[in-house]
Structure 1
Amino acid sequence: MAMTLSTSISSTSKTLIFKPLFSPNSIRLSCNRRSISRRNLRTRAKLLRDDEKTVVVEDSFPVEKGLAGGEAGKVDAGSSGDGTPGALERWAIKIEHSINIALTDSVIKILDTLYHDRHYARFYVLETIARVPYFAFISVLHLYESCGWWRRADYLKVHFAESWNELHHLLIMEELGGNSLWFDRFLAQHIAIFYYFMIVVMYAISPRMAYHFSECVESHAFATYDKFLLLQGDELKKLPAPEVAVKYYMNEDLYMFDEFQTDREPYTRRPKIENLYDVFVNIRDDEAEHCKTMKACQTHGNLRSPHDSKDDPGCVLPQADCEGIVDCIKKSLKPTT
């Protein structure tokens, strides 16, 4: 599945002119494309500013050759012998994507109706919901680990780092007043509770489906912030950055910030915060990084921590692995050799 989200800002003299690749009215989620292509997701977010170098977010995590939903190079009954998805798996992926698209579109319509012109309240709801999948992933993985079915430290590290990043997005929206109304807090919290249990069940049945659903949510978040920057950019540049944003993005210790960006080397992205516009640019680019990580996770076993070094493996543990509750139970019943 391919996705291109691109925004270019070019400067002429002292005036910044926004030139989106497509108009705000034509912004669409990449996951709305019902193609089941296994190509890498490509997310592009470009920012050109006076006397500053280009900030580019592109080229998703390289997918290892193998099956989506199986270890690299592993072949099962639903796949062809060359490592490409077979007819049965392609059918399953199509069904999963259709369900995810329908669910995502339903939530978007509700948010569009309730928060048409209340941006910060909408962002507060989005960020409250955005943390939930990572909580669900970690909960299920801890259960598998407790049962002796699974042990992949990279997944726990990266998903926790993703939740840590989304937490600070939420704190920023709270400082901006997005949670000032009781109704907004009530709606966001109750959606989050329902969303958590839904993702737990989905992830237990099909991690690939759960990761794709999260990719759809992150794609919508990227498009939402990107559109907001295009429409409100001039006003945002006149406003100061929230204190929590300055502390998070300008912190000397950005280990957790680097950890969730699995498509890039650590220390290669260092945000600059001068005003509220810069804050939303970085939040938008964070969502692009989340989207690429979720895309990478759809190929089972493809995720790795950006801080892990092949030359220094550290504490090596047996890599028990499984995909979904059915696969875990099947593997637990097999005699060990």
Structure 2
Amino acid sequence: MQKFYSVADVAAELRRVADARASAAYSEEEAASTVIHEPMDELVAMPAEPEPEPELEPDHDHDPTPQDPAPEAEPDGAVNHPVSPNAAEVVDHEADGEDSSGDSSDRKAPSTEDDAVADGHDHTDQGSQGEHSLPESYPICSDHEECLVRPERIKIQKGFMAKESVKGHMVNVVKGLKIYEDVFTTSELMRVADFINEIRQAGRNGELSGETFIFFNKQIKGNKREIIQLGVPLFQPTTEESNCHIEAIPLVLQAVIDHLVLWRLIPESRKPNSVIINFFDEDEHSQPYFKPPHLDNPISTLLLSETTMAFGRSLVTDSNGNYKGPLTLSLKQGSLLVMRGNSADMARH
């Protein structure tokens, strides 16, 4: 005989079945989560042997700190987007340490004490990473507390004077030039120099993409040098296609830029998105040049070796390539030159 149930009975039975299934699913989920959590805890708590009882507390090791080898750069990811595409950061490095000047090197590092500093890495893909994987293992200012007080140690020279005639008026053509010393420690400069030499070797081996590495091997004195450009290219049109043939700024050099911003030597609004590295042999020198018109002020140059630089509209040289001008400065390793105003627009260096 067929048995009939009321709607209330049917609903109650359905609820009972649903509860039973939910409870079963919950148990399975709990079991699964135990199985997944155990191995994770074992992995993080490396020194200990795998324990038979997987009853370790779940929070014990719940924040995995992956050892990331350093993301490939922008550079500044590798390049900093707040800056106009024409900004450039220049690092001049002499191979054996004699005359080196910021040839074709410009960077967008402007005023000194403006703009609050953001310590974030703004990486704008300005270039593709070539086949060569650039090393990213040299920290700048790893001691956070020391890093914060570093600006108190930095020395500044300013107020330079070199008057020349410009359109019939005597003008201080080096107005706006500032030189910072003791910006980086000796060990930090060594790390940067070692890193740059690795990139240089990679360029010589043909491992860098496109026009990242340029070798000028002209027989005329003062024209032989190696150049590495990173980020937004400065020696050809900044089209999307050309950007694809330049390596992005590596994180090591980006760290240098970020700390210059952090210490308010460069404003955040003028954060460089290009880096030019010049290598000169001991008996070589750069040709004096004016800032290319498409680059914004200031021009900033970090010297990785001692050098002498001449500034002015009219520069004279002897047969050995020693230039003299209205202002000639002997600069020590690690000096940071920041040129704005007349010093960037009116004077050669």
TM interval, shorter chain, is under 0.3
TM-score by length of 1: 0.26
Flag the structure with higher helix content: 1
Higher relative contact order (CA 8 A, sep 6+): 2
> What TM-score comes out, normalization by structure 2 length?
0.25
